[in-house]
């Protein structure tokens, strides 16, 4: 039985990752930032095959803890970077744990001979820090794919900037180390939607769906969505977990960064679907999922499915 180590395995996406790997017959080692706060990970113990689950305290900025966590893992999934839109101190809340944590992780994986595959869960921000707006050089009607140059704007949200820089760090590491004994693959989800597997109240993805459902704007950034009725690219959280698993178990894809995305809808239609009503407009395909469909074999669900699941 192989072991999958999942950093950030108790969050919104991470919980689906844990459930998927357990269901596929893996031992799963999950990190938590504070082992004493069992309310953050207790739900993982309810999954089928949870007797193969191990939960370990980990601070990704602590190199020795990171090295200890990695020991014995054949597959590593790194999704343990913070996702938050309300930020007081971008350096300590976002940039340090995201970028420094990635640097420490890349250093640690070189010391572990059991590793066969590493999967980074990045973000659409790795391709476009302007998300959900279009990147520079693109106009309405254009599509964005993995073939496009990544777009970075210093005016982007600090979360987006931190994810972009962390992804550049991974790409440089791959370029600088051509003879690794394992593959590194990245997946970059757009706006992740669906129903949480826990009762936790600290998920930004769940919070964003709540805001859209109730037309709440806690800050000018979100208010801009409503004022311009922007198109927002969506993907089912279960499809993201499927993408992570396929990326972890498909060989010959070293260095790839797959966009995980379904359809884009205007925010007004997202509001309707989150209230279990039919959308008035038609979806667009702004971010292409052709590469993930072809190489990972994912059949992305229509965006209405996870939005209806949240409404229920």
Q: For position 82, which CATH number holds?
A: 3.40.50.720
Range of the domain at 50: 3-311
> What DSSP designation does 145 have?
-
Helix (H/G/I), strand (E/B), else coil: 225: helix
> What DSSP designation does 128 have?
B
Task: Report strand pairing: 191-193 vs 231-236.
Answer: parallel
Residues of the chain predicted below pLDDT 70: 80-97, 156
Number of domains in the chain: 1
Residue 177 CB: number of other CB atoms within 10 A? 11
Residue 232 Cα to chain centre, angstroms: 16
Residue 156, pLDDT score = 67
Residue 93, pLDDT score = 57
List the strands of the sheet with 231-236, edge to edge: 191-193, 231-236, 264-266
Residue 284, pLDDT score = 96
Cα angle at 56 between 73 and 60, to 5 degrees? 80
Q: What is the mean pLDDT of the chain?
A: 91
φ/ψ of residue 57, rounded to 5:
-75, 135
Residue 165, pLDDT score = 86
Residue 90, pLDDT score = 56
Tell me the per-residue pLDDT of 177-233, one tens digit each, with 9 for 90 and over: 999 999 999 999 999 999 999 987 777 889 999 999 999 999 888 999 999 999 999
C-alpha 158/C-alpha 307 separation (Å) is 26
Residue 102, pLDDT score = 87
With beta carbons less than 8 A apart as the criterion, state whether 35 and 46 touch: no
Q: Which of 146, 172, 168, 178 is nearest to 259 (CA)?
A: 146
CA-CA-CA-CA torsion for 102, 252, 294, 289, nearest 10 degrees? 10
Q: Which of 184, 169, 192 is nearest to 76 (CA)?
A: 184
């Amino acid at each position: 039985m192989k072991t999958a180590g999942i950093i950030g395995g108790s969050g919104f996406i991470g919980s689906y990752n844990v459930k998927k790997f357990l269901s596929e017959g893996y031992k799963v080692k999950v990190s938590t930032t504070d082992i004493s706060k069992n309310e953050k990970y207790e739900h993982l113990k309810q999954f089928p095959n949870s007797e193969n689950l191990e939960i370990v305290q980990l601070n990704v900025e602590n190199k020795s803890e990171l090295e200890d966590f990695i020991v014995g893992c054949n597959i590593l999934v790194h999704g343990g970077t913070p996702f938050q839109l309300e930020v007081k101190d971008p350096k300590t809340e976002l940039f340090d744990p995201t970028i420094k944590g990635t640097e420490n992780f890349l250093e640690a994986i070189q010391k572990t001979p059991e590793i066969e595959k590493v999967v980074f869960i990045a973000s659409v921000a790795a391709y476009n820090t302007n998300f959900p707006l279009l990147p520079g050089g693109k106009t309405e009607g254009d599509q964005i794919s993995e073939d496009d140059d990544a777009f970075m704007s210093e005016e982007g949200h600090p979360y987006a900037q931190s994810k972009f820089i962390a992804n550049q760090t991974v790409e440089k590491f791959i370029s600088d180390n051509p003879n690794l004994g394992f593959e590194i693959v990245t997946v970059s989800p757009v706006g992740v939607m669906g129903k949480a597997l826990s009762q936790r109240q600290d998920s930004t993805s769940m919070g964003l769906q709540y805001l859209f459902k109730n037309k709440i704007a806690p800050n000018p950034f979100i208010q801009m969505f409503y004022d311009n009725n922007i198109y927002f690219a969506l993907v089912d959280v279960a499809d993201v977990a499927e993408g992570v698993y396929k990326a972890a178990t498909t060989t010959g894809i070293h260095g790839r960064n797959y966009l995980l995305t379904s359809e884009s809808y205007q925010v007004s239609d997202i509001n309707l679907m989150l209230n279990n009503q039919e959308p008035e407009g038609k979806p667009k395909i702004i971010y292409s999922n052709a590469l993930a469909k072809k190489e990972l074999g994912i059949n992305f669900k229509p965006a209405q499915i996870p939005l209806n699941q949240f409404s229920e």
